[in-house]
């Protein structure tokens, strides 16, 4: 059948011709425009919002601030509780909004607004010696803040060989092509929104919580989304402002954040500092693993990046300790960004494994193979399919790793130094419950509705194929409807769980519809036949450690004069179970690898500690890898089947390609130059500084 084949995207033509409508593009009559105003201090109290000049413009309809905004209720984070208090927790926090009949008037009104503050001392530096550091009980995704097995300190002291190094990653910002956008309008106590989000049902739930109304009184339409990467998982501060403005004015309101506003009014990734200590016997057997992870959250909400979570599951050791610590800074609350925790954590762990291999005089591949665990190291749970060794071996074979000379800084042609490196990849398997509705019509066609969202991954097409396969009919007889919260409770496009979760729901609905049709002798009643299925009771039991795995192999060249790094080849091999669409799966893996390369070489948000300001808040200064930065890029999927995984037989792929790729690049740079860069990104200054 069609499932698994590489059919082209259903919406492809509409997107390239401009027919596909995104949230901001819907024509709405009598619509107003909203321009949010961010705080110009990092900590303080708003004492006055002087709107006299702004309101003198007849096109300005309203200025909303904490003194006249309707009251909201706590929801996901305190950041979304906009315009509720005069307290300023970070620079860029929404302190007012100008609403006008044109976008230009709203922006001009915002420029004319005069906001006065009493400024307070602030803190914007991640400092391991901060006396106020917290040790949280849990991290994001429910991992324990601290895990201890055995006696790590004694094992490190007794180790034949040990390494002890600190690895850092900077703040990083999501930069989807489409920024946060919304059209909000009220119909009595019903909120209707066209919203750019990563899950219509989650958005409806979030807006409902904020406004104190049931989720089914919020109608969210999310037909097309121009990327998210974590920035649109929950209603953002920017989007909530539009719902407030619509409530105050009684008219529909449109808002689309500028690129600069995305850096303070939408989520980003925290900076991290990981101290990794590894102990081993002479033969490479790990005797101790210690990962101390420091990250920050805001002063108004606790979010703990699960930086050490991958260390819990990667390599065998009788002595294992992971600890997370948290600094509270006057910066926006960090949230999820693709592969949260795993991306910075695996850069640290996989770099340290490379350093240990060199300290032992051992092949980095052989070191990883030697320390393959029989069960998950931190929990002792059996693995629900672990194919890391298969990925490493297949990747080594495709890359030609066996012919590698391990000596660093000896391969030179002209001014270029050449090197290779590798790293492992891992991402947990998540599956969320939800509903889907399947309908058969007398004309032989089928319609399936699910509150999924396609953020650019090809989910719409993959679900179309899954439905056709489950019904046993050609895809041409199937229509899939997504992007409405009215379609019922459903998963986010996050945690690499979306397609597997939605796919499970639509397959269950289709199987039940098939059973009902069989009861009718295969004939469809004149008024059709409809079935709604719910997978809430079909979740994976916590009796196995379930992950996707992969391996990255990287070849770089480094300019010996300038320190410029060029990635000549990046090859990944991944084990993720069944793919609903081979083409979009391959595209997702390639995209993840590009993002990992970008994190390795380009991405960082720079904080001015004096002002608490993200200074490079646009795409001219926040650098992202482009096609010109990519040369040889290869992604390969292993053929395998795991029992007891998701309802569609597949594991998440959206974030797997990112994890470990930055370490593979860094390890290759060391092999080329003999310079170990432990702080991302790998800039020319850092290559030349050692």
For 454-510, the pLDDT digits (tens) are 999 899 999 999 999 999 999 999 999 999 999 999 999 888 888 888 989 999 999
How far apart CA 337 and CA 56 sit, in angstroms, is 42
pLDDT for 530: 96
340-371 pLDDT tens trace: 999 999 999 999 999 999 999 999 999 999 99
Residue ranges of domains in the chain: 23-121+177-227+232-265, 140-172+269-429+543-688, 431-534
Q: Would you please indicate which residues are annotated as catalytic (active-site) residues?
A: 655
Residues 481 and 520: beta-carbon distance below 8 Å: no
How far apart CA 241 and CA 615 sit, in angstroms, is 24
By CB atoms closer than 10 A (0-12, 13-18, 19+), residue 133 is middle
Does this chain's domain 140-172+269-429+543-688 share its CATH topology with 431-534? yes
Instruction: Look over the chain and give the mean of its residue pLDDT values, rounded to a whole number.
Output: 95
Q: Which two tokens stand for residue 310?
A: 């991958």
Average pLDDT over residues 69-87: 93
224-235 pLDDT tens trace: 999 999 999 999
CATH code reported for the domain at 23-121+177-227+232-265: 3.90.1170.50
Q: Which two tokens stand for residue 322?
A: 């992971």
pLDDT for 541: 84
Query: Sign of the CA dihedral 368, 370, 374, 377?
Result: negative
How far apart CA 506 and CA 470 sit, in angstroms, is 9
The single-letter DSSP state of residue 440 is E
3-state SS class at 155: helix
14-35 pLDDT tens trace: 999 999 999 999 999 999 999 9
Which residues are 33's β-sheet partners? 100, 254
**648 has a pLDDT exceeding 80:** no
3-state SS class at 386: coil
Q: Which two tokens stand for residue 295?
A: 């990250």
pLDDT for 3: 58
How far apart CA 219 and CA 194 sit, in angstroms, is 8
- CA-CA-CA-CA dihedral for 493, 271, 663, 564, to nearest 10: 110
**132 has a pLDDT exceeding 60:** yes
CATH 3.30.365.10 is held by the domain 431-534: yes
pLDDT for 644: 66
Q: Which two tokens stand for residue 49?
A: 């919002």
**80 has a pLDDT exceeding 90:** yes
Say which range, 8-17, 355-364, 654-663, has the weakest mean pLDDT.
8-17
How long is the chain?
690
pLDDT for 385: 87
Q: Which two tokens stand for residue 170?
A: 């900077």
| Residues in contact with 398: Cβ distance below 8 Å, sequence separation at least 6, in sequence order | 553, 571, 573, 634, 636
How far apart CA 546 and CA 496 sit, in angstroms, is 13
Percent of the chain with pLDDT over 70: 99
How far apart CA 424 and CA 314 sit, in angstroms, is 9
| Residues in contact with 493: Cβ distance below 8 Å, sequence separation at least 6, in sequence order | 198, 199, 228, 452, 453, 454, 455, 457, 459
Q: Which two tokens stand for residue 208?
A: 């409902």
The single-letter DSSP state of residue 52 is H
Say which range, 140-144, 406-410, 550-554, 624-628, has the weakest mean pLDDT.
624-628
What does 264-294 look like in DSSP terms, one character per residue? HHS-EEPPEEEEEEEEE-TTS-EEEEEEEEE
How far apart CA 65 and CA 124 sit, in angstroms, is 26
Average pLDDT over residues 267-276: 98
Q: CATH top-level class for 140-172+269-429+543-688? A: alpha beta
């Amino acid at each position: 059948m069609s499932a698994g084949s590489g059919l082209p995207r259903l919406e492809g033509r509409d997107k390239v011709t401009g027919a596909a409508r995104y949230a901001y593009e819907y024509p709405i009559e009598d619509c107003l425009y909203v321009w949010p105003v961010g705080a110009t201090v990092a900590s303080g109290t708003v004492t006055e919002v002087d709107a006299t000049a702004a309101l003198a413009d007849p096109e300005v309809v309203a200025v909303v601030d904490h003194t006249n905004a309707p009251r909201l209720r706590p929801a996901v984070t305190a950041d979304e509780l906009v315009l509720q208090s005069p307290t300023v927790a970070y620079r860029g926090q929404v302190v007012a909004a100008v609403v006008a009949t044109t976008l230009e008037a709203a922006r001009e009104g915002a420029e004319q607004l005069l906001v006065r503050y009493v400024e307070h001392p602030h803190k914007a530096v991640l400092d391991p010696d901060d006396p106020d550091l917290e040790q949280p009980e849990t991290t994001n995704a429910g991992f324990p803040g601290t895990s201890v097995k055995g006696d790590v300190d004694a094992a490190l002291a007794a180790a034949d060989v040990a390494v002890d190094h600190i690895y850092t990653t900077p703040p990083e910002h999501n930069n989807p092509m489409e920024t946060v956008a919304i059209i909000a309008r009220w119909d009595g106590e019903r909120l209707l929104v066209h919203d750019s989000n990563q899950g219509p049902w989650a958005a409806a739930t979030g807006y409902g919580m904020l406004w104190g109304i049931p989720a089914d009184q919020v109608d969210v339409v999310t037909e097309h989304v121009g990327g998210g990467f974590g920035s649109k998982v929950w209603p953002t501060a920017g989007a909530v402002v539009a719902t407030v403005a619509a409530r105050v004015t009684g008219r529909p309101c449109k808002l689309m954040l500028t690129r600069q506003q995305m850096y303070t009014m939408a989520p980003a990734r925290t900076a991290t500092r990981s101290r990794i200590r590894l102990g081993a016997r002479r033969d490479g057997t790990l005797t101790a693993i210690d990962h101390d992870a420091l990250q920050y959250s805001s002063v108004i909400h606790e979010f703990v990046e699960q930086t050490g979570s991958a260390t819990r599951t990667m390599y065998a050791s009788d002595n294992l300790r992971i600890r997370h610590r948290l600094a509270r800074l006057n910066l926006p609350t960090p949230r999820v960004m693709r592969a949260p925790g795993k991306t910075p954590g695996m850069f640290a762990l996989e770099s340290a494994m490379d350093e240990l291999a060199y300290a032992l005089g051992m092949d980095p591949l052989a070191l990883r193979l030697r320390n393959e665990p029989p069960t998950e190291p931190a929990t002792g749970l059996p693995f629900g399919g672990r194919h890391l060794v298969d990925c490493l071996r297949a990747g080594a074979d495709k890359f030609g790793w066996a012919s590698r000379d391990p000596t660093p800084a000896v391969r030179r042609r002209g001014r270029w130094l050449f090197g290779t490196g590798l790293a492992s990849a891992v991402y947990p398997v998540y599956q969320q419950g939800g509903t889907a509705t399947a309908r058969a019509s007398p004309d032989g066609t089928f319609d399936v509705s699910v509150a999924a969202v396609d953020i650019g991954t090809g989910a719409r097409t993959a679900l179309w194929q899954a439905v056709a396969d489950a019904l046993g009919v050609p895809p041409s007889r199937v229509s899939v409807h997504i992007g409405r919260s009215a379609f019922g409770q459903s998963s986010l496009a996050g945690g690499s769980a979306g397609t597997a979760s939605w796919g499970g729901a639509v397959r269950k609905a289709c199987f039940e519809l098939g059973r009902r049709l069989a009861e009718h002798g295969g004939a469809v009643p004149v008024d059709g036949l409809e079935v709604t299925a719910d997978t809430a009771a079909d979740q994976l039991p916590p009796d196995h450690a379930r992950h996707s795995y992969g391996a990255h192999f990287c070849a770089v060249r480094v300019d010996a004069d300038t320190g410029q790094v060029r990635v000549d080849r990046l090859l990944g091999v991944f084990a993720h179970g069944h793919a609903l669409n081979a083409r979009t799966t391959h595209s997702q893996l390639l995209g993840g690898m590009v993002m990992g390369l970008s994190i390795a070489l380009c991405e960082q948000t720079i904080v001015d500690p004096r002002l608490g300001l993200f200074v490079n808040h646009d795409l001219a200064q926040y650098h992202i890898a482009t096609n010109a930065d990519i040369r040889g890029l290869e992604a390969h999927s292993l053929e395998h089947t795991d029992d007891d995984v998701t309802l569609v037989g597949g594991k998440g792929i959206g974030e797997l390609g990112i994890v470990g790729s930055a370490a593979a690049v860094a390890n290759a740079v060391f092999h080329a130059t003999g310079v170990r860069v432990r702080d991302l990104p790998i800039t020319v200054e850092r290559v030349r500084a050692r």
